[in-house]
Structure 1
Amino acid sequence: MTYCMSDLHGERDRFQQMLERIAFSEEDHLYIIGDVIDRGKEGVELLEQIMEAPNMTLLLGNHEQMCLSTLGPRNELGAREVWRQNGGMGTYRTLLYRRSPRERSRLLRFLSGLPDALDLTVGERKFHLVHGFPGEDRHTRIWGRVEPDSRSPYEDTLCIVGHTPTVFLTGRMGEDLSIWHGEGILNIDCGCGNLQSPHRRLACLRLDDLAEFYVGGTGEPN
């Protein structure tokens, strides 16, 4: 089976619960469309777990890009402050003070090689996976946001995105978040990493049949 998740944001416990819920095995494959790190406590550990898994593929999210912009070879001006404002200081401190230079360099090389979009076919259905929004330029693919009236720009292709918590598309502030269904676009960011919200959930989409799985929310202990 082929699965897709997004925006884990350091919540490794929920990730592990989800792998158990879907009975993830060596014969399955998982695509994670960005934002594994920041906000939650175990983003670096999640990165290391994904790096070592032969049947997991990570796409670049804006939080991985902020990490690269701050700690990568370019060390872009002002990047650390932007990252700090977006919940990156836990990741920053872990990489700087709890990992050796060799381990840190290995993680950064891994991030620098990630794709920012991916096309695949599962069964007879075509998918376009991207963190932010399907677009012609890298900034849009990483930072762009789906809107309530967005539609897939690719004919006969279902776009799977994250980045924008689905509550901003549905307006249902007092409900557990769930996958948002647009016109040829599904948004699977259900608020992981928003540690103050009891309604945040980790979502997982099985691409073979579009079955949805959830961990967290008010129906489960946080």
Structure 2
Amino acid sequence: MIYCMSDLHGEEDRFHAMLEKIQFSGQDALYVIGDVIDRKPGGVPLLQEIMAADNMHLLLGNHEQMCLDTLGPNSVYGSRELWRHNGGNCTYRHLIYICSPQERRDILKFLSCLPDHMELTVGERAFHLVHGMPSEDPHRRIWGRPERDTPAPLHGCTAIVGHTPTCFLTGRMDQPLSIWHGDGIIDIDCGCGHASEHRRLSCLRLDDMAEFYV
């Protein structure tokens, strides 16, 4: 089976509970559509777990890019403050003070090689995985956001995105977040890492479009 998750944001317990719920095995594949790190303290261990697994695949999210912009070889002026403002302090401290220099180099090298979008065909259905929005612009691919009335961004292909908590698309702030289905686009960011009591981790199985929540 082929599964998608997004925006783990350091919530290790939810991630492992989800793997148990879907009975994830070595015969399955998992695609995480960006933002494994930041906000909660488990981001670096989650990265290392994904790095070590042959059947787990990570796409670049804006939080991984902020990490690279701060600690990578081509650091960007002002990126540390932007990253801190977006919950990056826990990841920064772990990489600098807990990881060995070699572990830190391995993680940054891994992040620097991540794709920012991916095409998948499951059965007879085509999918485009991207953290923010499908686009020719790399910045928009990790920072862009859909709106409720966004027309289908791709022809003959369903886009699966994260980045935007689905409550901003449904307008429902007072109930547990759920996967949002738009016109040719599906948002699976159900608020992990945020303070809301209604946040959940979602998982979408692409073989039959079954939805799972923790």
TM-score class, shorter-chain normalisation, is over 0.9
For these two proteins, the number of residue pairs brought into alignment is: 214
RMSD, aligned α-carbons: 0.6
1:116-155 Cα shifts (integer Å, max 9, x gaps): 0000100000000000000001001000001111133221
Structure 2 counterpart of 1:60, one-letter code: L
1:166-211 Cα shifts (integer Å, max 9, x gaps): 00001111010000010010000000000x2110000000000100
The alignment status of 1:182 with 2:182, answered yes or no, reads yes
Alignment identity in percent?
67
Query: Where does the alignment leave 5 or more consecutive residues of structure 2 unmatched?
Result: none
Distance 2:139 2:212 in 1: 30
For normalisation by structure 2, the TM-score amounts to 0.99
Query: Where does the alignment leave 5 or more consecutive residues of structure 1 unmatched?
Result: 216-222
CA contact (8 A) 2:5 2:30 kept: yes
Structure 1 residue aligned with 2:63: 63
Answer with 202-211 or 152-161: which moved more.
152-161
Distance 1:63 1:152 in 2: 26
Query: Which 4+ stretches in 1 moved above 4 angstroms?
Result: none
Distance 1:80 1:151 in 2: 35
Distance 1:58 1:77 in 2: 26
The alignment status of 1:210 with 2:209, answered yes or no, reads yes
Structure 1 counterpart of 2:188, one-letter code: I
Structure 2 residue aligned with 1:168: 168
Structure 1 residue aligned with 2:14: 14
Structure 2 residue aligned with 1:86: 86
Answer with 145-154 or 86-95: which moved more.
145-154
CA contact (8 A) 2:161 2:187 kept: yes
The alignment status of 1:119 with 2:138, answered yes or no, reads no
CA contact (8 A) 2:153 2:185 kept: no
CA contact (8 A) 2:120 2:127 kept: yes
For normalisation by structure 1, the TM-score amounts to 0.96
CA contact (8 A) 2:6 2:33 kept: yes
SS of match in other structure, 1:46: helix
Shift of 1:19: 0.2
Distance 1:35 1:74 in 2: 20
SS of match in other structure, 2:201: strand
Structure 1 counterpart of 2:36, one-letter code: V
